[in-house]
Structures are given as structure tokens and as C-alpha cells.
């Protein structure tokens, strides 16, 4: 077998399409690259606050939809837009991106030794149609010590991460005791779900 001549499984369906990732998240950029897709990054600057819903589990999909709506006027017929948003939920309360290192420390202390949910909502959008979905993963943290929390907060970028942590970081290596669901979903993009939905969306 000539490996260089083996086409990507979605090549025929993607032919003639321009994939746009409506996010500048380095985690999402890397995960989409690992899926073997060629795309351009076009960040959506849609507002992420004032989401008035009773169920916090609905928030990520609403935010992903809002990002898609922001970029929709820029789309051409051949464009396929992917937008996503991820939230961390502890006891029905969303832990957003912390505004300070002190707030990040507070978040991690609250998550310590407890289960929480990570939900990513995503949208596949073209001019004439759209698909929406959300994926939930459950995470159990070990009981974190003060020294472990201080070490992580002081050495890693925590202010750009929902819940103040990245599962791919040091804290994920030492602190995640159990995970139920998609690991990549916790990183910010449920790649297996997205890939399957791309196949269906592009039929």
C-alpha cells in the first residue's frame, strides 16, 4: 500500500468546501488538525455573557449558536463553519474562565475531590442549513492539596480555561481520578462525535 496515496475518509465529501473554525482556542485548533482537516481560523467575537437559561447544560450550545450567527453574514456558499463552546458545571453552577489567579485557586479548591460536568456545544453551519449538538463528560478530581493547586495556578495558563484547568495540563495528569465520557470533549472539542456528525451533515 502506498500510504501517500490513501485519501482522507472525508475527502470526497469535503471536496470544494472551505472549512472555517470559528474559534482561536489553541486546543480546538490542534484537535481539528489531528482530525486531518484543512481549515482556516476565523474567530467569532460574539458576546458570551447574559445567557438567560434555567438549565446551565443548555448554555454551551446556545453560545456555539451565537458564535455561528455572528459569522454567518461572512459565509459563502462553499463555506462550512464549525463553532463550539465549553463550560464547566459544578452543582448546577457554571464555573467560567477565572478573572484572577485567586479566583482560579477558588475554582480548583471547589472542584477538589468532587464530580463535575464538562459540556461542549458545537454547530456545523452552512448558508442553507445547520446542525447543533452538545456532549457531556463527567470528571472526578482527586483531593488536591494546597501545594498542588498553588503549583498549577502559578505555572500554567489558567485564566483562559473554563473552570480554571486544562485536562491536558499537569493538573490533569495528577488530579483527574476518573472520567466518564469523551476526554477530548473536556479539552474543548468532542472529536469522535464531531467527525460522525460531519459524515452525516455532508451526505
Residue 85 among the catalytic residues: yes
Residue 188 gets the label, from left (phi > 0), alpha (psi -120 to 50) or beta, of left
Rounded-to-integer distance, Cα 64 and Cα 85, Å: 5
CATH of domain 3-201: 3.90.950.10
The pLDDT score that the predictor gives to residue 54 is: 63
Selecting among 49, 85, 102, 160, the annotated active-site residue is 85
Rounded-to-integer distance, Cα 160 and Cα 197, Å: 28
15 φ, ψ to 5°? -60, 130
Rounded-to-integer distance, Cα 74 and Cα 76, Å: 7
The pLDDT score that the predictor gives to residue 52 is: 65
* pLDDT tens sequence across 8-65: 999 999 999 999 999 989 999 999 999 999 999 999 888 766 566 668 888 999 999 9
Rounded-to-integer distance, Cα 138 and Cα 93, Å: 14
pTM above 0.85, yes or no: yes
pLDDT tens digit at each of 203 positions of the chain: 666 689 999 999 999 999 999 998 999 999 999 999 999 999 988 876 656 666 888 899 999 999 999 999 999 999 999 999 999 999 989 998 999 999 999 999 999 999 999 999 999 999 999 999 999 999 999 999 999 999 999 999 999 999 999 999 999 999 999 999 999 999 999 999 999 999 999 98
Domain spans of the chain? 3-201
End-to-end CA distance of the chain: 28
Kindly tell me the sign of the dihedral angle through the C-alpha atoms of 29, 66, 132, 89: positive
Amino acid at each position: 500500500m502506498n500510504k501517500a496515496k490513501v485519501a482522507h475518509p472525508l475527502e470526497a465529501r469535503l471536496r470544494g468546501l472551505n472549512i472555517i473554525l470559528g474559534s482561536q482556542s489553541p486546543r480546538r485548533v490542534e484537535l481539528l488538525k489531528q482530525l486531518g482537516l484543512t481549515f482556516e481560523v476565523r474567530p467569532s467575537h460574539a458576546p458570551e455573557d447574559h445567557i438567560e437559561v434555567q438549565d446551565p447544560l443548555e448554555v454551551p450550545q446556545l453560545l456555539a449558536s451565537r458564535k455561528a450567527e455572528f459569522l454567518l453574514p461572512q459565509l459563502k456558499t462553499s463555506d462550512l463553519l464549525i463553532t463550539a463552546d465549553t463550560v464547566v458545571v459544578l452543582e448546577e453552577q457554571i464555573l467560567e474562565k477565572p478573572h484572577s489567579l485567586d479566583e482560579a485557586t477558588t475554582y480548583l479548591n471547589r472542584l477538589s475531590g468532587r464530580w463535575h460536568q464538562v459540556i461542549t456545544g458545537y454547530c456545523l453551519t452552512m448558508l442553507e442549513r445547520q446542525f447543533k449538538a452538545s456532549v457531556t463528560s463527567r470528571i472526578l478530581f482527586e483531593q488536591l492539596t494546597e501545594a498542588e493547586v498553588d503549583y498549577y495556578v502559578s505555572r500554567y495558563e489558567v485564566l483562559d480555561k473554563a473552570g480554571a484547568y486544562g485536562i491536558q495540563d499537569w493538573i490533569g495528569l495528577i488530579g483527574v481520578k476518573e472520567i466518564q465520557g469523551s476526554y477530548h470533549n473536556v479539552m474543548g472539542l468532542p472529536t469522535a462525535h464531531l467527525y460522525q456528525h460531519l459524515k452525516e451533515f455532508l451526505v
